[in-house]
Structure 1
C-alpha cells in the first residue's frame, strides 16, 4: 500500500501522521527544515477536546501532565477586574478545560510517539517543489509517491497552495504584538489567564498573560505598527507588569496577525490542514486547536476510503466541514481583533462605552470581546449530519459553556464499561441503543452497537427513552433516531454514500 504523504512536521502534521497510522495506514512525513526548531513558546494553549484527540495516540495525558492547568479566565479594564468565567463539562472528561505548554514541548511528546510507530517514516530537509496527482495517487517532487496527502506546512504554504491552485484571501492587521517568555515568581497568577484592556503599563492597547510550566509566563503586548524591538526597553516594559522582582527572559518575538482562509481545503487526493488552510489571530487559541481537529477529520475520512469502508465521496465532506469551521474561527477572531484594534473612531468610542459600562453593569459584559476561547466546531449543517427536529441547534452558547448534545455536536465524555465513551467511539462507528429500542442490524465492519444501560451515559447525553444515537469516528453525533430502520439511512448519510434510487 502506498503511504499517505503528510507535508509538514509541525503539530498538525504530527497529529495527522499518528492518527493515520492508528487507522493502520503507512505514512511518510516530509518537512523542508533540516531539523525541528525547539525555540519559543509559540502555540501554548491546548484545549480539552484536543487533548482528548491526542490521547487516542497515547499523548494527551502526557501533554496535560507536563503542562499547566488553568480553569479561570479573568478580564480587566485598567486595573479593575470586569469579570471572570470558568468552563462547563457536560460529561466527566479526564482532562482540564485548558493546558498551557510550549509548542516545542508538545512537538517533543508527539515526536516520541512517532519514533515508536513503525508505520511512520519522517524525512527532514525535503522541501516540496511539485505536487501532481491522478486517480491512483499523489506524487511529490516527481519521485515520492503516496495514496493521499495531508498538506500542513504551516503559514508559509504558498508554494503548495500555488501547486494546487488554491487562493488564500483575507486581511492583515496593522498592529503588531510583542511576545516575551519569562521565568519569574508571580503568586496567584499560576492557574489563570489574565487579559487587560488599556492597563496603565500599555495605555490604549492590550496585554495578555498566560502561565506556563516551570514558573514561566508568556506576556503578549499589543504594540503599534511602528514598534521597533531593537529600540525597545524590554526590561522596563516587563517590570511594569511584574514589578521589582527577579526574572529571566527566555524568548522574545514580534508578530503581525492575519485573517485568511483557503478557498478550497480539498483538491482531489490532497487535503489542506492547519495554518496552510486558515490563519487567525491567537486571541482565543483557535489556531493550533483547530488545526488538530482538521487532522482528525482528514485522518478518519482518508482511512475509511482507503480501507474500503466508505466511498471516495466521503472526502468531499472534509472541505464542507473544516472550511465551515475555519470560517467560524475567522468570524470569531475577526470580531475580537476589531474590538482590540477598532478600525474607526466610531468603533473606538463604542468600545470605550462598553468597557466603562461593563464595570458597573453585568449585562454589558457579554459585549466585551477579549477572545472567545477555542471550542470544537459543531457540524449541525454538515451533509453528514441527520437533523433531529426534537433537538434544534440553539446557536452559540455563552462563553465557557458547551452545547447540549444533539446531531453535529461533539459527544460529552463519560465512563462506559471499563473504557470511556469518546475512546470507544473513536475506534470506528458507534451505535448507542436505548434499552427499550430495537437493536439495528448493520453490515459495516467498523460499526459497534451498545445498549445505553448506564444511567450516567444517558444523563450525559440527555438521551430519551427509545432513542438510538449514531456516533462518528471523531466522536461527534451523526444522528439521533427513534427506530431501528432509520439507522442505516443515517449511517449512509454519515459516510456520504450516494442515495440509491428506487
Structure 2
C-alpha cells in the first residue's frame, strides 16, 4: 500500500473510490493488463458499519469471477442462500415457496453477505493482483480537457491521468466537477433498516419473509432477510411517523420483539434510516470524454430488487472495457466514441433499473388508490389463487431482471 505522497506522475487510468464499483474497476483493469491505481478519501482499514448492500445477484458473482478467477466462488461460499420465501397479509400467510437444493456446479443464483465482507474479499483480491491503493486522498477539484484529467487533492497534491473512473459515491466530487447533477425524486416515507446478530439460543428458519400490514408493527410493512451472521429487518414507516420513535434504543426494544423473537430486541448491531432516492446522473461522462461515472456516482435506487451494487459492478467492468478501447484507439474521434458508447449504455441500464425500483416502491407505499385496490383484491384470493399470492410476493422487488442485450443490460 502506498501513502499517496511523492512526485506527480501521469497515469493511463485513475480510479477514485474504493467501494464495490471502484474495486470492480481495479480488478477489471488488472484483468485487462492495465495498471490500477485507486484513490480513496478514507483512512485504510476504516470500519464501515451495517450490512448495506448485502445481496449479490448471480450475474454479479459471474462478473467478479471473470475479472478475478475464484473471487465469485469465494464470496458465494462466505455468503448465505435461502431456499424458502414467504409473504403475509396482516398476519395471514398468502404465499410460500421452497426451492429444491442446488445440485450443480458453478455459482449460485445469489448470495447474501454484508457489503463490508464482500468489499474485504474484493480488496484482498486487488492486493494479490497488484492494485496500487492511496488512502486518505480526498479529491478537492477536478479538471478535464482534451488531453486528460487533472485532480488536486485536499493536501494540494496533483494527480494526472488519461482517464478517470469515478466511483466516489453519492456525493461524488467528480460528478459535480463535470456538471452532471443527479435527477429524480426521493421517497416521502422513511424506511428504518436494522441489522440483528443471530441468536444461537433461538435460531430461526433461514427464510426471506415479507409482511404487508404487520399487526405487530401497527400495520406497517416489514421485510425480514437473513444474511451470513445475522438478519436485516426493514420497517416501512408511514409518512407522518417520527423516525426517532423507531430508532431510539427504547423504540427498538419496543417494536423489534413484535416482529422477531423477543431475544432479538437486544441483538441490534446497526440501525439507520433512509428516504430512498430514485436518481440518475444527467450524463455519465464529461464533454471531453475523459471521466466515466460509475456506481452511486451515477445512480441511486431504492433497494428493492437489490439493483444498486448489482448495477455498480457492471458499470465498472464496462467502464474499463471502454477505457481500454479508447487507449488503443486510432484517433481522438474513435476514443471518444468508445466512452460515449459506455455512457449511453450504462445510463440506459440505470434508467431501466430506476423504473424497476420505482415500480417496487410504488407497490410498497400504495399511495394511489388503484394500487391499494389491486393489492387488496390479490390478498383476498391469494389462498385460492397461486398467481395472486406469487404476485404479492414478487411485486415488492420490482420486475425480474432480464437480459436486454449489451445495450440494455438490466442489472
Residues 181 and 249 of structure 1 are in contact (CA less than 8 Å); yes or no, is this contact kept in structure 2? yes
Alignment of 1:239-258 (within 5 A): 239-245=257-263, 248-258=267-277
Residue 307 of structure 1, CA deviation: 3.6
Q: 1:146 to 1:258 in 2, by over 3 A?
A: same
Corresponding residue for residue 136 of structure 1: 147
- Number of residue pairs aligned between Structure 1 and Structure 2: 380
* Cα deviations by residue, 1:317-340 (Å, 9 ceiling, x for unpaired): 112211111111111110111111
Corresponding residue for residue 121 of structure 1: 132
Unaligned 5+ segments in structure 1 are 383-407, 411-502
Residues 186 and 275 of structure 2 are in contact (CA less than 8 Å); yes or no, is this contact kept in structure 1? yes
Residues 7 and 13 of structure 1 are in contact (CA less than 8 Å); yes or no, is this contact kept in structure 2? yes
Larger RCO: 1 or 2 (CA < 8 Å, sep 6+): 2
* Cα deviations by residue, 1:439-495 (Å, 9 ceiling, x for unpaired): xxxxxxxxxxxxxxxxxxxxxxxxxxxxxxxxxxxxxxxxxxxxxxxxxxxxxxxxx
Residue 309 of structure 1, CA deviation: 8.9
The answer to whether the aligner puts 1:3 opposite 2:7 as a matched pair is no
Residues 68 and 101 of structure 1 are in contact (CA less than 8 Å); yes or no, is this contact kept in structure 2? yes
TM-score by length of 2: 0.84
The answer to whether the aligner puts 1:147 opposite 2:162 as a matched pair is yes
The answer to whether the aligner puts 1:235 opposite 2:253 as a matched pair is yes
The answer to whether the aligner puts 1:98 opposite 2:110 as a matched pair is yes
Q: 1:271 to 1:72 in 2, by over 3 A?
A: farther
From 253, 258, 277, the equivalent of 2:298 is 277
The answer to whether the aligner puts 1:262 opposite 2:281 as a matched pair is yes
Q: SS at the partner of 1:234?
A: helix
Residues 321 and 379 of structure 1 are in contact (CA less than 8 Å); yes or no, is this contact kept in structure 2? no
Residue 132 of structure 1, CA deviation: 1.6
Residue 366 of structure 1, CA deviation: 5.7
Q: SS at the partner of 1:40?
A: coil
Instruction: Name the CA distance, whole Å, in 2 between partners of 1:130 and 1:28.
Output: 18
Unaligned 5+ segments in structure 2 are 1-9
Q: SS at the partner of 1:39?
A: coil
* Cα deviations by residue, 1:146-167 (Å, 9 ceiling, x for unpaired): 121111111222x322210112
Q: 1:126 to 1:380 in 2, by over 3 A?
A: closer
Corresponding residue for residue 217 of structure 1: 231
Q: 1:213 to 1:363 in 2, by over 3 A?
A: closer
Residues 3 and 28 of structure 1 are in contact (CA less than 8 Å); yes or no, is this contact kept in structure 2? no
Question: Whose helix proportion is higher, 1 or 2?
Answer: 2
Corresponding residue for residue 324 of structure 1: 348
Residue 175 of structure 1, CA deviation: 1.1
Residue 379 of structure 1, CA deviation: 2.5
Corresponding residue for residue 195 of structure 2: 181
**Displaced runs of 4 or more, over 4 A:** 84-88, 185-188
Corresponding residue for residue 333 of structure 1: 357
Greater Rg over alpha carbons, structure: 1
Q: 1:376 to 1:316 in 2, by over 3 A?
A: farther
The answer to whether the aligner puts 1:15 opposite 2:30 as a matched pair is no
* Cα deviations by residue, 1:220-267 (Å, 9 ceiling, x for unpaired): 111234221237521231111222346522111112211001111122
Residue 380 of structure 1, CA deviation: 6.3
